[in-house]
Structure 1
Amino acid sequence: MSRLSHREIVESVPQKGFFGHPKGLFTLFFTEFWERFSYYGMRAILVFYMYYEVSEGGLGMSEPLALSIMSIYGSLVYMSGIIGGWLADRVFGTSKAVFYGGILIMFGHIALAIPGSVALFFVSMVLIVIGTGLLKPNVSSAVGEIYPKDDHRLDAGFSIFYMGINLGGFIAPLIVGELMKTSFHLGFAAAAVGMFIGLVTFVITKKKNLGLAGTQVPNPLSPQEKKNWTKYTVIGLVAIAAVLAVMIPRGWVTIEGVIALVGVLGILIPTVYFIVMYRSPKTTPTEQSRLIAYIPLFIASVMFWAIAEQGSTILARYADKRTDLNAFGFEISPAWFQSLNPLFIIVLAPLFAWMWTRLGDRNPSIPRKFSFGLLFAGLSFLVILLPGMLSGEGALVNPMWLVLSYFLVVLGELCLSPVGLAATTRLAPAAFSAQTMSLWFLSNAAAQAINAQIVKLNTPETENLYFGTIGGLSIVLGIILFLAAPKIVKFIKE
């Protein structure tokens, strides 16, 4: 089969039909909406499920262990995107990767919905980790595929797509947070239903709306490479299973050891990936220059997500333990606070999309948008210092402090995340398009791998030092990135 050009793929996609954007954006928007509904619904109650007592329907883990596992879970979810991106680039194409990933995610939530043991909990983790790795980077990569090159709508399109992500993320904690009052497993069942609806939406609408997008394998394996890949994959899986069969009964595999290993991999994998892509003969000199420009953006993203992702760990526990949940005359579910981030994005994303389009040539450069993101993220942690200083250690605080913290980090997210998605599609080497999108999500994986180590440092005694140090570091890095922006732009070579 002859290779399709980007132009031929774009011509197969109806270019008008979804708020002035390609019709395929509808399919990708709602597929991702339901996938995020399932993921954020599960995530909103997962840390509580881990550390609540068994008598309360939980697993009875210690709080520090639950926080670390939650961070590692998030890290592995995004780290697995490397596998998903590679399979899309070399074996499946993005369309099949999205479909297979959705099936695994759905079964992962079904496993959580079945009352069982800690072992069943870890089975669900494996399914959701692998499934999200297949689906998440590839559905985002497909957004860039349906637009013509240098289309001015691309940034706005990613902002609309990003709003779909957060619409699912807003609704899910409200529903699942209420269901958890009856049973955690009812909440997990709702997440499974959400992923099923997403799969149905994708299958029914993809042919008409996406055309040829996602059907082509960008860098397919040769027959010999495919044969070797199959052989080594089978050998590797058998070897891993054999090693675990020996080590687990002897107690040589511990949760703490896995947490430490993932922490190392969170830094090592993206480092190796940058080197491999940069040195590849398939990467042109211009693409190498753009990869160099991408490195400081990647580091900035790690810093940002290290703060933002603590909304489901440190701030979730803060909502549960340190916040007055009856401040407004009725009982607030601690899970509901995780709807704040997507709620603010739903409200503000159209304004940011309009602003970037309206500014045109006066747009701040990509690095400077990232620097604004770091500034707001740092402020969100400094703000949470104030109630502790004013109320004293252990006192319940007004929930509006958490609302303000989430609001500030959302301002940073809208400066950094949709812009980062669009920048990734522009700066990716042609032979590594889906894999570079996976690399973008590795910044989140690295951040949460780091978080798995540092969340244990947050105690009532160290609360102010914890928030102040991390928030201050983010602001300092933001200032450095702002000053270095002109040099970074030169490497982009647009």
Structure 2
Amino acid sequence: MKTKHPKGLPYLFFTEMWERFGYYLILGIFVLYMIDSEKGGLAFDDKNADDIFGTFIALTYLTPFLGGFLADRVLGYIKAIYIGGFLMGLGYIGVGLFKELPLFYGSLALIIIGNGFFKPSISTLLGNLYNEEPYKANKDAGYNIFYMGINIGAFVCNIIAAFMRNKYGWGPAFMTAGVGMFVGLLVFTIGRQHILQANILKPVQEGDTKISDVLLKVFLPAIIFGLIGWFIPDNVFGSDSTDAFIFACVPVIYFYVMLYVKANAEDKKPIGALLAIFAVSLMFWAVFKQNGTALTRWANYYTDRTVPAPLEKPLEAIYLVDKKDYQDKEVSVYDDQYQVKKDKDGNALKEQGKDIYFRNISDLDRKSMGGNQPSEVNLYNTELFQSINPGWVILLTPIVVAFFMMLRRKGKEPSTPSKIVLGLFISALSCLVMVGAVYAGQNGLVKVSALWLVAAYGVITVGELCLSPMGLSLVSKLSPPRLTALMMGGFFLSTSIGNKLSGVLASFWYDYDNKANFFIVNFGLLLLATLLGLSILKRLNKIMKEKGVN
């Protein structure tokens, strides 16, 4: 560690681990909380919950654009991390405390703004630590290790969330996320002395973008465009919030395009290469972030979650009731594919007093659970399935790092852009696993084994490890020094748009009678992204060689 990696790495590792603990704890139970109508949730319909989820995660990755810019030019990265972490901690606690919608949305806003300062700054600090010898050659490995820290937090948080909401309720579960964030800031403070040398404010150069220009020429137009999207008659992209977000992104995207157009000859190629990577990466995030929507729904309704008999302490207990009870028009508000039905006025109805988990269990399973007589059945919490992906990351990261180091020793290590394109293709294969799951469950007629989700997450995790940490590494390698955090913001902008699209795609779930077609569409999107990546790969590798990096 002393010769290969800087001393600041462990502190950034654990700071990010605790920050992601809080963030992914929120994401793991967010949709479940919004659709819950019996245990103190918000009782939103499924489609509205998907839309809010997509908007929330999109905005958390949009604000790094401005946060990264301010960290680059004004605040410095360390101060930005403290500001961002404090705001996020308050926001997490606020979500747990307040059910009144204005305060609930205000708490989400604190998380969104705080993430804008925190996320690009900690990634930039890590890259700066690896800019000096003897660490420079290990930057990809450093980002992989850092990424494993993210996923340790994401793995543990869902177990804690399940315990907290079962024992204490939704509010304390959300507030636990805030505690995690403040622990992360404490770790960062302890290791601050090993990170200070990476907190380098870039000197102002001729032609640099001014803060006033960003506020007046980017964010003001973004607000105006967002309002136009919100109030425009009818919905262009499915909902007012989606229209507002997509419209608001237009001036920001224009800013990055003009950054490329106006760049000097030295900076133009690397900026152009990064913009191309951003474009193909957003398709990955559009599919990957459905783990909080479509795949959570699959786990909730289509996956066998019964706890084996030897486990005496249930994680979640519900009751099996006679199947005919679901035929009563007052409680049967879901069809066979769990689509929310609407009343004569078009208003979405909610499940009242019955858990629909048992609609698609086999007769054999029903008999083993007590037939048609009410009996207690113990289930794994749905949010525990959110830990499968980070669990795979923890297991696979050392293998992936070792594999690429072995190829490096043989002189055959792929370039960073090549790893990203490979990641897109592998991720596409995970969608085919879910197609298999649909056919195994006869399109929702019976529940399927949880191993289908385990397998799908395993495949997409390999793709994720080739793409996500490599994207961060590529930004650090190719960005002009004075624009590093700004370009980190651009990477997170592409993630943001992808995240929003994930909510849009998930909202079409009920439009597919055959759920296999839903996953085939996702496969097609990732395959298209792979082909686009291959079409520009030769040029990207050439730019990497010109910059003297791999």
TM-score relative to the length of structure 1: 0.86
CA distance 1:431–1:277, shift in 2 (3 Å)? farther
CA distance 1:231–1:175, shift in 2 (3 Å)? closer
Map 1:27-46 onto structure 2 (within 5 A).
27-46=11-30
CA distance 1:28–1:391, shift in 2 (3 Å)? same
Among 270, 273, 288, the alignment partner of 2:255 is 273
Q: Deviations over 1:100-125 (max 9, x none)?
A: 00000000011012142222220111
CA distance 1:375–1:306, shift in 2 (3 Å)? same
Q: Deviations over 1:204-237 (max 9, x none)?
A: 220x211332253554999xx67x689979x97x
The alpha carbon displacement at 1:134 in A equals 0.5
The alpha carbon displacement at 1:399 in A equals 0.9
CA–CA separation in structure 2 for the residues paired with 1:127 and 1:220: 33
- As a proportion of its length, which structure holds more helix? 1
CA–CA separation in structure 2 for the residues paired with 1:269 and 1:119: 28
Q: Which residue matches 1:440?
A: 491
Map 1:272-421 onto structure 2 (within 5 A).
272-280=254-262, 283-326=263-306, 328-329=308-309, 331-360=379-408, 361-394=411-444, 395-421=446-472
Q: Does 1:63 align with 2:63?
A: no
CA distance 1:98–1:217, shift in 2 (3 Å)? farther
8 Å Cα contact 1:40/1:169 also seen in 2: yes
SS state of the match for residue 180, structure 1? Answer: helix
Q: Does 1:105 align with 2:155?
A: no
The alpha carbon displacement at 1:491 in A equals 3.1
8 Å Cα contact 2:432/2:519 also seen in 1: yes
Q: Which residue matches 2:500?
A: 449
Map 1:168-247 onto structure 2 (within 5 A).
168-182=153-167, 183-206=169-192, 208-214=193-199, 216-219=201-204
Q: Deviations over 1:297-327 (max 9, x none)?
A: 2122111111111111110111112111116
CA–CA separation in structure 1 for the residues paired with 2:543 and 2:251: 23
Q: Deviations over 1:413-432 (max 9, x none)?
A: 01111111111101112221
8 Å Cα contact 2:144/2:469 also seen in 1: yes
> Identity over aligned residues, as a percent?
31
8 Å Cα contact 1:370/1:415 also seen in 2: yes
CA distance 1:450–1:419, shift in 2 (3 Å)? same
Q: Which residue matches 1:126?
A: 109
Q: Which residue matches 1:5?
A: none
CA–CA separation in structure 1 for the residues paired with 2:130 and 2:381: 41
Q: Deviations over 1:131-161 (max 9, x none)?
A: 0011011101110111235811111111111
SS state of the match for residue 166, structure 2? Answer: coil
**Residue identity in the other structure for 2:466:** C
Q: Which residue matches 1:251?
A: none
129-138 vs 378-387, greater mean Cα deviation: 378-387
**Residue identity in the other structure for 2:397:** A
CA–CA separation in structure 1 for the residues paired with 2:268 and 2:198: 26
Q: Deviations over 1:325-371 (max 9, x none)?
A: 11644521110111111111111112222222222231112232122
Q: Which residue matches 1:258?
A: 241
The alpha carbon displacement at 1:270 in A equals 5.3
CA–CA separation in structure 2 for the residues paired with 1:264 and 1:80: 15
**Residue identity in the other structure for 1:187:** A
CA distance 1:278–1:479, shift in 2 (3 Å)? closer
8 Å Cα contact 1:92/1:217 also seen in 2: no
CA–CA separation in structure 1 for the residues paired with 2:215 and 2:121: 25
Q: Which residue matches 2:543?
A: 491
**Residue identity in the other structure for 1:352:** V
SS state of the match for residue 179, structure 1? Answer: helix
User: How many correspondences in the alignment?
Assistant: 461
CA–CA separation in structure 2 for the residues paired with 1:352 and 1:372: 13
Q: Which residue matches 1:152?
A: 137
8 Å Cα contact 1:428/1:436 also seen in 2: yes
8 Å Cα contact 1:45/1:180 also seen in 2: no
CA–CA separation in structure 2 for the residues paired with 1:359 and 1:398: 36
The alpha carbon displacement at 1:438 in A equals 1.0
8 Å Cα contact 2:202/2:482 also seen in 1: no
The alpha carbon displacement at 1:173 in A equals 0.8
Q: Deviations over 1:395-422 (max 9, x none)?
A: 3221111111111110000111111111
8 Å Cα contact 1:79/1:133 also seen in 2: yes
Q: Which residue matches 2:324?
A: none
Q: Which residue matches 1:93?
A: 76
CA–CA separation in structure 2 for the residues paired with 1:292 and 1:216: 24
**Residue identity in the other structure for 2:156:** I
Structure with greater Cα Rg? 2
- CA RMSD of the aligned region, Å? 3.0
444-453 vs 66-75, greater mean Cα deviation: 444-453
Q: Which residue matches 2:518?
A: 466
The alpha carbon displacement at 1:76 in A equals 0.3
Task: Give unpaired runs (5+ residues) of structure 1.
Answer: 1-15, 249-254
Q: Which residue matches 1:142?
A: 125
**Residue identity in the other structure for 1:430:** P
8 Å Cα contact 1:371/1:478 also seen in 2: yes
